[in-house]
Amino acid sequence: MEILVCARRVPDTSENEIALNDAGNDIERDDLVYSINEPDNYAVEEALQIVARTGGNVTVATVGTDEDDEILRREMAMGANKAALLTDDAFAGSDGKGIATILKGLVQKNKFDLVLTGVQAEDGGAQVGGMLAAMLDYPFASLVNSIEVADGSKLKVSREIEGGNREFSEIDLPCVLSVQTGINEPRYVGMRGIRQVASIEIPAYGAADLGIDRKTVGESAANLKRDDYFVPALGKGAEILTGSNEEVADQLIELLKAKGGLQ
């Protein structure tokens, strides 16, 4: 099977305290730790496990700039055999629809049986996969937490719905699936693996290569525009206990007694 995995480089929210910049029009991006968007990494692992059974190739693609090259290399170190950096000045400031339009260009220039995205990007709207599928007229399923290759023409997939229930469907190939975290256990990538792919040439494609009308992507085509970033008013907020761990533990125990947390 030929599989495309769409991946994005994002600030890692579990590693960073996100703060606003002085102008309030963006977050403070110096010193941020970036990594591959978490579900996208699960999607790559899933693709690798599928081709290990069926044969084929895993291609990882990102819409971004030269800096985003690092996640493509990381996923190649994991085992993806091909990568593509979709980059062009015209792509800057694209919204979800713009990114889906660019990815559609790549899909139409190639032959993929299966396209995987993550469920949602840290700074995204859980939208790129569903939009891409609709543009291609491929069937789509979101929040996928298992994939079974039924035969060469279809898959059996489950979606994660409420309460941990799993909704099973059959879906024809080619299709687009958005992959949920926890679907598998992504393999570990060590520094050695990364070094091995450090000098591989990663092809870059621009609007002309992908047959994309520059007016349909980028900031000017975006339907959603941010006016500012802000930190919401704290509301009541928590009463913060202060002191050494020992002192705080004593205060907390008194509160727990009062609230029935300690009988």
Partner 1 sequence: MTARIFAYIVHKAGVVDDTAAELFAAARKIDPAANPAAVVVGAGAELDAVCKAVAATFPEVWKVASDALAYPNAELVRQALVKVLPQGSIVLVPHNHFGIDLAPGLSIKLNAAYVSDVIGIDGVDATSLKVVRQEFGGQVSTHARCNIAQGAVVNVRPGAFKPLETATLAGTIVDKTGEVGSLTSKRRYLTTIVPEAGDVDITKEAVLVSIGRGIGEKDNIPIAEDLAEALGAAVSCSRPVVDAKWLPKSRQVGSSGQTVKPKVYMACGISGSFQHLAGLKGSPFIVAINKNPKAPIFQVADVGIVTDMLEFMPELAEKVREAKKVTV
Ligand X SMILES: Nc1ncnc2c1ncn2[C@@H]1O[C@H](COP(=O)(O)O)[C@@H](O)[C@H]1O
Ligand Y SMILES: Cc1cc2nc3c(=O)[nH]c(=O)nc-3n(C[C@H](O)[C@H](O)[C@H](O)COP(=O)(O)OP(=O)(O)OC[C@H]3O[C@@H](n4cnc5c(N)ncnc54)[C@H](O)[C@@H]3O)c2cc1C
Q: Which of residues 97-136 bind ligand Y (CB under 6 A)?
A: 119-120
- Residue 45 or 122 with smaller CB distance to ligand Y: 122
Task: Report the nearest approach of partner 1 to the CB of residue 1 (Å).
Answer: 17
State yes or no: residue 10 binds ligand X (CB under 6 A). no
Task: Report the nearest approach of partner 1 to the CB of residue 211 (Å).
Answer: 18
Provide the residue count of the chain: 263
DSSP string, 79-109: T--EEEEE--GGGTT--HHHHHHHHHHHHHH
Check: CB of residue 229 under 8 Å from CB of residue 127.
no
Cα 208-125-81 angle, rounded to 5 deg:
50
- Residue 125 or 203 with smaller CB distance to partner 1: 125
Helix (H, G, I), strand (E, B) or coil at 205: strand
Site string for ligand X, 29-48 (x = CB under 6 A): --------x-xx--------
Task: Report the nearest approach of partner 1 to the CB of residue 196 (Å).
Answer: 26
Helix (H, G, I), strand (E, B) or coil at 43: helix
Residue 135: how many other CB atoms lie within 10 Å: 16
Ranges within 211-230 binding ligand Y (CB under 6 A): none
Backbone angles phi, psi at 200, to 5 degrees: -65, 135
- Residue 14 or 165 with smaller CB distance to ligand Y: 14
Task: Report the nearest approach of ligand X to the CB of residue 47 (Å).
Answer: 12
With CB under 5 to 8 Å by kind, the binding choice for 40 among ligand X, ligand Y, partner 1, none is: ligand X
Helix (H, G, I), strand (E, B) or coil at 259: helix
Ranges within 62-81 binding ligand X (CB under 6 A): 62-64
- Residue 87 or 120 with smaller CB distance to partner 1: 120
Check: CB of residue 78 under 8 Å from CB of residue 48.
yes
Q: For ligand X, which stretch binds (CB under 6 A), given 3-11, 135-143, 161-169, 244-252?
A: 3-11
Structure tokens at 228: 């500012």
C-alpha distances (whole Å) from 146 to each of 83, 159, 169 are 24, 7, 11
- Residue 63 or 77 with smaller CB distance to ligand X: 63
State yes or no: residue 14 binds ligand Y (CB under 6 A). yes
CA distance 2 to 113: 5
State yes or no: residue 98 binds ligand X (CB under 6 A). no
Count residues near ligand Y (CB under 6 A).
5
Check: CB of residue 1 under 8 Å from CB of residue 113.
yes
Residue ranges in contact with ligand X by CB under 6 A: 6-8, 37, 39-40, 62-64, 96, 99, 117-118, 120-121, 124-129
Q: Which stretches of the chain bind ligand Y, using CB under 6 A?
A: 13-14, 119-120, 143
